[in-house]
Chains A and B, each alone.
Chain A
Amino acid sequence: MLTNNKFRTLILAAAATSLMACQSGPSEEEIAAEKNREAEAAAAAAQAEQDRIAAERQRVQKAAADKLAAAKQMMENEKQSLVSMQTVYFDFDRSTIKPEFQSVLDKHAAFLVKNPGQNVVIEGHTDSRGTPEYNIALGERRANSVRTYLTNAGVSGSQISVVSYGEEKLAVMGTSDYAMAQNRRGVVVYN
């Protein structure tokens, strides 16, 4: 029994000893480790903060790029849709813009005002009636009335150049009324 008790005491003593050892303060190694741990945590936190900022910056940049790309895409789309309605038609021997084409030209004007870096060439064309040289003059007058419409709508004159092809580049061959009407045209060409 005694032996048993003694043993128990010993165990307790050992345990007490060990307790006493704790109470006597951390070792050098323990302190260093603790410091390391703290430094690492701080570093990690700083890193996390940095990462967060970088991510945020990246996010902002990407958002901006996306926005730009979207805008560019929108401009391209807008340009594409404008290219699909680049032609306005004229009456025989006339160069006045017909009312039904004003909304089309308004769209071109709005786009060109929004995109001052974008230049256009206005081509003037005529049907095959009359002489080629007179038709060069008539074609220029048609192209000029398109230019005047656009500049009146706020487009800078420096964005617009004009060329008359007269009857030299017919859109539709032949002498039907339809062909004649299709050939009397002004064309807004984006480059």
Chain B
Amino acid sequence: MLKNLFRQCSLTIGAAAAVLILSMSVAKAQSINEIVITDGMNNARPIAIVPFSWSGDTVLPENLSDVIMSNLRRSGKFSPIGLSDMPQFPTRDDEVEYAAWAAKGIDTVVVGSIEPAGRDQYRVSFSLVDVLRAQITGGESKSLVNGQLVLSNDHIIADREKIINSGDFRQYAHIISDIVYESLTGEKGAFLTRIAYIVVRDRDTNPLPFQLAISDYDGANETRLLSSPEPLMSPNWSPDGNKLAYVSFEEKRSQIFIQDIYTTERTRITDYPGINSSPRFSPDGKKLAMVLSKDGNPELYVMDLATKRLERITRNRAIDTEPNWSPDGKSLIFTSERGGKPQIYQVDLATKRTQRVTFDGEMNLGASISPDNSHLIVVNRTQGDYHIARQHRASGDMFVLTKTYLDESPSIAPNGSMIIYSTMHEGKQVLALVSLDGRFKARLPAVDGQIKSPSWSPFLL
């Protein structure tokens, strides 16, 4: 279903190529695939993803087990072992020699097979095996069902069989990864998600240096939605994952747009004098929070997208900006310098009652709230350094997560496990990942130009 939408996207993007001076294309650029894990593999749980067997005689479109391995590795929670460390290469549960894996310190093994299933069709089966449990039961645990003792196979944590098309390999690898991740962590996986970001090419040599791109969460399948001679900013996903709101300077002033990523159809939402900035969809997708300076200085507004009616939220001579919604949609957190330096405040949308929520550090900026409402994620400035930090909402404790340079634009995965943000590495803006617990850190090197303003999509299935 998702895949079909992507295909539809390619077609309509091609048809809509002639929009103003902006070029739209499905340029399949080099992806930001090569992840560099910079910290945290010691804390990860070992797991074995045994290469899936293939009984056909053609070359498979994609290596399923490789994609699953790299997914689990970059979740920060797992450390998939290499092929040379595997004692055997089973493809089904009943081929697994439990003791051999247990001796290697591996308590979880994923095995699977791929068979031809007709023209362009493949039958993919896999099992997630709990080696320790299987050692106890000998792989033949029995339980009472309707008064009869039957084989329960409770050492098999999950198994599936599905027929897929050649174009669906990556997507299905993400689905298997989600199943493995959720089975073992109790938390929903976020492998079937995407990211939106801004690419800035060399302004001297490129007539359209500012580009809005989306890709799978791991950088694969990059699609350029828009290329412009003037800056693009602040992409933000609609909760249904179909649209992006963003700021464009294509008319030499800031305007807010909403664009459907599948039809590429776009609508200009605001064109007020002054700043049109920081669009953020409400959790129900019906409203857009934004910053406008049409009434004198930057203030928060909420627009009802159906009626286009604007409600002014803040009224203050200082800068108020960077609104973000609380998960229940009843309040906004935002950056304000009403106290002197930028700090995070929260305003109740019904009462307009406003309170300051951050106090640690010289500045706190660009806040968002974790999906479970437990933490605030901010850009924290302490002793002149800008780092991503999390603040526990109940206790107010602030914990700096990153050690990179000039960190900004943090965006949380929909399962709350990981933050993607923009940072400076060797003089270039690149994207980086940090887990919410701060243990896992990785970098996604830019291949051409600067990459900034990442926005993590909601769950797409």
Contact = CB atoms under 8 A, between A and B. Distances in A.
Co-assembled chains A and B = yes
Contacts, number: 84
A34 interface: no
Given A137-B321, A175-B406, A131 B379 contact: yes
Nearest to B253: A163
B333 to A, nearest CB: 13
A140 B427 contact: no
Interface stretch (B58-66, B117-125, B133-141, B273-281): B273-281
A138 interface: yes
Contact of A141 (B253, B319, B452): B319
B412 to A, nearest CB: 15
Contact of B277 (A128, A133, A169): A133
B254 interface: yes
B291 interface: yes
Nearest to A139: B275
Contacts of B386: 129-130
A173 interface: yes
Interface in A147-180: 162-166, 168-169, 173-175
Given A128-B406, A162-B274, A163-B252, A133 B363 contact: no
B145 to A, nearest CB: 57
B322 interface: yes
A136 B365 contact: no
B112 interface: no
Given A132-B452, A134-B319, A173 B427 contact: yes
B363 to A, nearest CB: 7
A52 to B, nearest CB: 55
A175 B233 contact: no
A165 B278 CA distance: 13
A174 B427 contact: yes
Interface in B228-252: 231, 233-234, 249, 252
B231 A165 contact: yes
A138 B363 CA distance: 14
A93 B363 CA distance: 11
A134 B405 contact: no
A137 B365 CA distance: 12
A13 B254 CA distance: 114
Given A140-B298, A168-B231, A133 B406 contact: no
Contacts of B275: 136-137, 140, 164
A134 B249 contact: no
Contacts of A121: 252
Q: How large is the interface on B (under 10, 10 to 19, 20 to 34, 35 or more residues)?
A: 35 or more
A137 B336 CA distance: 11
Interface residues of A, number: 24
A165 B409 contact: no
Contact of B409 (A93, A131, A137): A131
B342 to A, nearest CB: 6
B285 to A, nearest CB: 21
Contact of B293 (A128, A129, A130, A140): A140
Contact of A138 (B203, B252, B253, B319): B319
A131 B406 CA distance: 9
Could you say which of A131, A140, A168, A173 has the most chain B C-beta atoms within 10 Å of its C-beta? A131
A134 B342 CA distance: 9
Contacts of A174: 427
Given A162-B274, A163-B252, A175-B406, A133 B234 contact: yes
B235 to A, nearest CB: 11
Nearest to B429: A128
A136 B427 contact: no
Interface string B368-393: 00000000000101000010000000
A-B pairs, 10 with minimum CB distance: A168-B231, A131-B366, A137-B319, A137-B298, A131-B365, A133-B278, A133-B322, A137-B321, A131-B408, A136-B277
Interface of B: 203, 231, 233-234, 249, 252-254, 274-275, 277-278, 291, 293, 297-298, 319, 321-322, 335, 341-342, 363, 365-366, 379, 381, 386, 405-406, 408-409, 424, 427, 452-453
Given A130-B363, A133-B321, A169-B203, 14 more contacts: A121-B252, A130-B408, A131-B366, A132-B233, A132-B452, A134-B321, A134-B365, A136-B275, A137-B277, A137-B319, A140-B275, A165-B231, A168-B249, A175-B424
Interface of A: 93, 121, 128-134, 136-138, 140-141, 162-166, 168-169, 173-175
23 contacts: A128-B424, A130-B408, A131-B365, A132-B234, A132-B408, A132-B409, A132-B452, A133-B233, A133-B278, A134-B335, A136-B275, A136-B277, A136-B291, A136-B321, A137-B298, A137-B319, A137-B321, A138-B319, A163-B252, A163-B253, A164-B254, A168-B231, A169-B231
